[in-house]
A and B are shown apart, each in its own frame.
Chain A
Amino acid sequence: MKIKVQRKVFSEVMSIVAGVVNPRHTNPLVQNVLLDASKSGLLIKATDLEVSLQYQLNDASVSKAGKVLLPAARLNGLLKDMSAETVELIADDESVVVSAERGKITLQTADVEGFPGFPEFKQDNALSIKASDFAKGLGWTGKSISPERGRYAFNGVLITTGKNGIEFCGTDGRRLSYMKVAGKAKTYDFPIIIPRRGIELFTRMAERAPDSDISLDIRENEVVARAGNAIASTALIDGQFPDYWTVIPRNNDKTYVARRADLISSLRLAGHVTSVESQSVAMEISKQEITFKTRSPGMGSAEVKLPVTYAGPDCRVGFDPRYLLDGLALMTADDVTCEFKDNETGVIFHEGSKDKAFFLVMPLDVG
């Protein structure tokens, strides 16, 4: 193999690859990245057997075709530390020489034999939406899922087809975020639940080609996505996702509108007097005003007032301020609408149109 590539693009792709490869994987072979040079350019492949990425680098000039396996983390670091415009990779039987300008680094290669196979992207598109919308949906909902790399519904984002659009939903059972984006889909394949690793990979892939369309090829327990020059795949979670439409409160009869920035700063302020014992912020809503209250025994208390447009009866709901801050941080509008009912019912926040996106926070009951 003998190729010349643009260092910057190569490096960018390799940093996505580094997110795919697990350098502590029990199978040392998959700690490597496969470089496959052919007439059509350089194909970069990596997997941790849960997610996989195949990236076609077109602007590589291949003077001699061939395949090599190189340690992914090392190659990634190397490219980062180089400053040249182009790098050249020349392989012999045992090693690859990576050279650019003054530097010349020889890396031992591993045997390509035994490197796992990669899923092919078939043409029957289960879904096709704009990559930027896809990334937005995953980003908005991915924040609410349970953190571990588990196999449960709460460990992933649900994608399904809804009335004129594709719906994204993530929850950890304590909060939930929902978003709907425009797109076409073949309904029978859905819903699917994408695990955290898949969310991250798909997001990064989509962000690299924001203007292209992303299409999905859904299999038994795997989904393959294509956007731009990349094909990525992830295992799917085979769990029972809660029927969110039945648990999202329908009759939150009270609403107020507040400035998002004010909400954030009030919550931050009140959050200074939370502790392990009392993590909750009480939101007390009265006419034209909400008061955020915190109290921690042995520490102190806080009371932050915020004028709002509200004319309903007094009400008090407690919750974990971090949930709110997470959601508010992902919003972009100036004003936020809050829909609530009582201290038993989830509180909904949205940026004007609940149909497009909202997040829901379950109350935190103080004894």
Chain B
Amino acid sequence: MAYKRADYALAPSARTILDRYDAMPKIQKLPPEIANKIAAGEVIERPASVVKELVENAIDAGATRITIDLEDAGKQLIRVSDNGSGMECDDLVLACAEHATSKLNAVDDLFYIDTMGFRGEALPSIASISHVRIVSRTTDNPEAWEITNHGGEQSEPKPASGAPGTVIEVANLFYNTPVRRKFLRQNSTELGRVIETIENIALAYPAIGFTLNNDHNAIFELPQKQARRERIVSFGGAKLSDALIEVNDFDEYASLTGFVGSPGQHRPNSKDLRLFVNRRFIRDRSLLQAVMLAYREFIPHGRYPVAYLFLELDPSEVDVNVHPTKIEVRFTQASRLFGKIKAAVQEAVLRSGQLPRLDLNDRRLEQVKALAGASQQEIHASLQQFRAPLPEARPGSSAEPDLELATPGYDRTEHAPRLLDDEQLASARLLRDKVSPRAPLPPYAESSLQASTPSANLFENARGYFQIGNAYIVVETTDGMVLIDQHAYHERILYWQLEHRLSSQPPEIQKLLVPEPLELTRAASAMLGEHRELFRQFGFELEPFGSGGWACYGVPKYIRTTKVNEFVKSSLDELAASGRAKNPAELRKSMVDMMACKAAIKAGDPLKGADIESLIKEGAKVPHTFACPHGRPTTYKLTFTDIEKIFHRR
């Protein structure tokens, strides 16, 4: 019976109705031994809780269209109408009885819950604090039956007219519990909660049509038989559509499907990070954490990704009977799920290789502009900084600059800005004179990039590139252009290379002629004792020196640093700040982080054509270059469509 829900998900809704219709057992009072095992508690706190229970009942009844009408945001009236199985008169009478459900038969069923409801508690608790009216008709019954229940006082059933299905009205919520009524918020807040509740159900059941009205105004109307993606876009907006990455991961334990946002999509809170287990919206810190971790390198710290993830597992693997509102569940193999989600999401994001794109219809464009202004200052600042100590350039010299990656292509000693010598000045003058001022300048250096890197990369269609503001690179591509932040981009490359190279081979260690004593505090020295091996893994050969001190005997070759002291110190600071809580793998990661940042090309570093080309080439080897290790974007894409929009050609 594994994948029962999954079957539903794939099957047309008609099948669901049939299943339900034929198999729906009659409502029975639960025997005390079962009733006592059910997580008890008040579930009705506000209109949204009522809506949740009623809509879930409608879904359990196999409805394909559900309409929710509110008055006064539900404070006056909540009406949920469905086209589900309906109830026979005998059942209707029991619907509001305590511990009466058609969904559980034996204690063991509690460990195999494949319906939204199972407690037989929702309707009685709603009825005890409001005026309930239920009109219900089964398909093969010519007429409907109606009951009312006011605070537990139930009327005799009487015939009524109505279409097949059920209409439940809940009026005067909390009429007999004034304190709870007082706790209700203003209408907009309560309505917001209702909307969120319905959203979370509607996302899980894209085939079911939902209509929500408040005070006779339509809030939304979702058509039936939507695909999941359409449903997500219905809520998230059309802009999200392009930015959704599909996740598909099946194994014998669980199936994980759904969509996650591309790295360009991130939010200030976790609202758009939603997890569903067997089509039930749940909150689970650990699984959310798995998603967050998967995105760690792609979006800025403190921001949240967009994710709509649907887990389907055998109901026996999930315990829903933990919390009365069923918002929390327990898994038999929580850590397995954690790993699964993290890996699947990460893989999907990497595979998509989506570049963040400028959203031209968006206020963010303004922000981008503002940002551009800010970084202009930054550029200026770093330019100033850069100018101060100019490394003297001697072509062919192997002299080592202060701190930089020893990538042959980026040998900064070769392209450090230097005063033009006289010959260069002369030839520049010659050139200037030849090119008449009106003649268009060649727009960019023609690229000789190979278009056929085995791993399909973003730049396989690069046609040309140039640097602007000594900080950014513009790449012309077949479908528009890509803007690269040279520092963030290089940092991402280094980050990957470091991880890659350190795992594939031990680092080369350059022995020092004179050991460099480290100026460390006592605490830092002690800390170093603990983490010496970690430093060794990164190519720092540190040995005890003098009494209680340390000295550096060798430095990593792949990163050129003459400021060993500074580097080790700031690493230790970092470790002290986070070290105790981190496991070795994470420590390593933060070291990699730091090294990549320190060694990357800075904003303000002028790059020659060859440097840019090798940067892009190196980038092509890295599987995911669209965000730096801190999650800031490294690249922005502007398609011709976007450009046409800018110039109102569209």
Contact = CB atoms under 8 A, between A and B. Distances in A.
Contacts of A318: 508
B448 to A, nearest CB: 20
Interface in B322-372: none
B401 A367 contact: no
A278 B513 contact: no
Interface in B553-586: 554, 557-558, 562
Nearest to A15: B422
A24 B387 contact: yes
Contact of B401 (A147, A322, A323): A147
A176 B513 CA distance: 8
Contacts of A226: none
B399 A173 contact: no
Interface string B506-548: 1111111110100000000000000000000000010000000
Interface in B146-173: none
B451 interface: no
B301 interface: no
A367 B507 contact: yes
Interface string A24-41: 100000000000000000
Interface residues of B, number: 40
Given A77-B425, A154-B562, A276-B406, A148 B508 contact: no
Contacts of A73: 419, 425
A44 interface: no
A326 B190 CA distance: 76
Interface stretch (B254-262, B309-317, B388-396): B388-396
B400 interface: yes
Contact of A344 (B426, B504, B511, B562): B511
B558 A277 contact: yes
Contacts of B401: 147-148
Interface string B421-460: 0100110010000000000000000000000000000000
Interface in A236-254: 242, 247
A143 B392 CA distance: 12
Contacts of A77: 422, 425-426, 429
Contacts, number: 125
A94 B535 CA distance: 63
B421 to A, nearest CB: 8
How many A residues touch the partner, as a band? Answer: 35 or more
A117 interface: no
Interface stretch (A59-67, A227-235, A308-316, A358-366): A358-366
Contact of A242 (B506, B514, B541): B514
Contact of A367 (B399, B506, B514, B562): B506
A231 B254 CA distance: 83
A366 B558 CA distance: 12
A47 to B, nearest CB: 15
Given A173-B512, A174-B510, A363-B511, A147 B399 contact: yes
A80 B426 contact: yes
Contacts of A18: 419, 422
Contacts of B390: 149
A171 B513 contact: yes
B397 interface: yes
B481 interface: no
A366 B391 contact: no
Contact of A149 (B392, B406, B413, B510): B392
B582 to A, nearest CB: 24
Contacts of A145: 399
Contacts of A149: 389-392
Contact of B509 (A147, A247, A326, A365): A365
Interface string A166-195: 000001111110000000000000000000
Contacts of A81: 426, 429
Contacts of B239: none
B37 interface: no
A127 B422 CA distance: 34
Given A147-B413, A242-B513, A172 B399 contact: yes
A362 B513 contact: yes
Contacts of A362: 510-513
Contact of A326 (B387, B397, B511, B562): B397
A133 interface: no
Query: Which of B406, B413, B497, B557 is most buried by chain A, counting CB atoms within 10 A of its CB?
Result: B557
14 contacts: A23-B419, A80-B422, A145-B399, A146-B400, A172-B399, A173-B513, A276-B406, A276-B497, A278-B508, A279-B508, A320-B510, A323-B398, A363-B511, A367-B505
Interface of A: 15, 18, 22-24, 73, 76-77, 80-81, 143, 145-150, 154, 171-176, 196-197, 200, 242, 247, 275-280, 297, 318, 320, 322-323, 325-326, 344, 346, 360, 362-367
